[in-house]
């Protein structure tokens, strides 16, 4: 995937090659991602799954960046979730600390978006651990498009899943590194 992350002029750089969006609305938490894998200017795959449920379905996670790096981060994050069960903020902080300080992890080129019933975070290897105010977050090259669309749709009658689907479709219509082969995972609160 055409990737690079780092800090340039104190601004977190954006990954090319994907769009991940998470929306929390009412009692739903939904995360979706497109399926396109790009290497340089070439689409190598169009049906990749970049979102998944972790911690026995209690946490959603998605990645933008190098796939092998993302799988390494998923494994490390699952270890943190096992160590700090039912505490997404603590697991996220611990992963961010390891990611920033570990010589090997620091070289990984990916961003993670994670969410549970109460929290959503973006994590990066340069130390960012960001929780949005409105329960909507996005990463990847089409992330800003999906984020804007989701925020515009948040006050409508659409469900969180419908917002994620429509916002990712909008991003795919704008960003050449995002396609309309969407994968979605969701948490639905028990009544």
- Give residue 66's Cα distance to chain centre: 13
Which SS3 state, helix, strand or coil, does residue 35 take?
coil
Among residues 18, 19, 38, 178, the one annotated as catalytic is 18
Helices (H), 84-142: 88-101
d(CA 20, CA 123) in angstroms, rounded, equals 13
Could you confirm whether 42 is annotated as catalytic?
Answer: no
Local structure of residue 107 (DSSP, 8 states): G
List, by residue number, the catalytic residues: 18
């Amino acid at each position: 995937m055409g990737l690079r992350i780092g800090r340039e002029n104190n601004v977190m750089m954006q990954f090319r090659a994907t769009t991940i969006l998470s929306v929390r609305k009412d009692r739903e938490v939904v995360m979706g991602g497109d399926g396109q894998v790009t290497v340089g200017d070439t689409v190598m795959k169009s049906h990749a799954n970049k979102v998944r449920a972790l911690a026995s379905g209690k946490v959603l996670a998605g990645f933008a960046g190098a796939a092998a790096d993302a799988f390494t981060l998923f494994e490390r994050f699952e270890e943190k979730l096992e160590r700090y069960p039912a505490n997404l903020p603590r697991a996220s902080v611990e992963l961010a600390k390891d990611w920033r300080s570990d010589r090997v992890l620091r070289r990984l080129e990916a961003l993670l978006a994670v969410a549970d019933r109460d929290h959503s975070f973006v994590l990066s290897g340069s130390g960012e651990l960001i929780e949005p105010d409105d329960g909507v977050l996005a990463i990847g090259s089409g992330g800003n498009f999906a984020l804007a669309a989701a925020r515009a749709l948040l006050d409508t009658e659409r469900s969180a899943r419908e917002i994620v689907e429509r916002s990712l479709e909008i991003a795919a219509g704008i960003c050449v590194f995002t396609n309309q082969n969407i994968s979605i995972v969701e948490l639905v609160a028990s009544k």
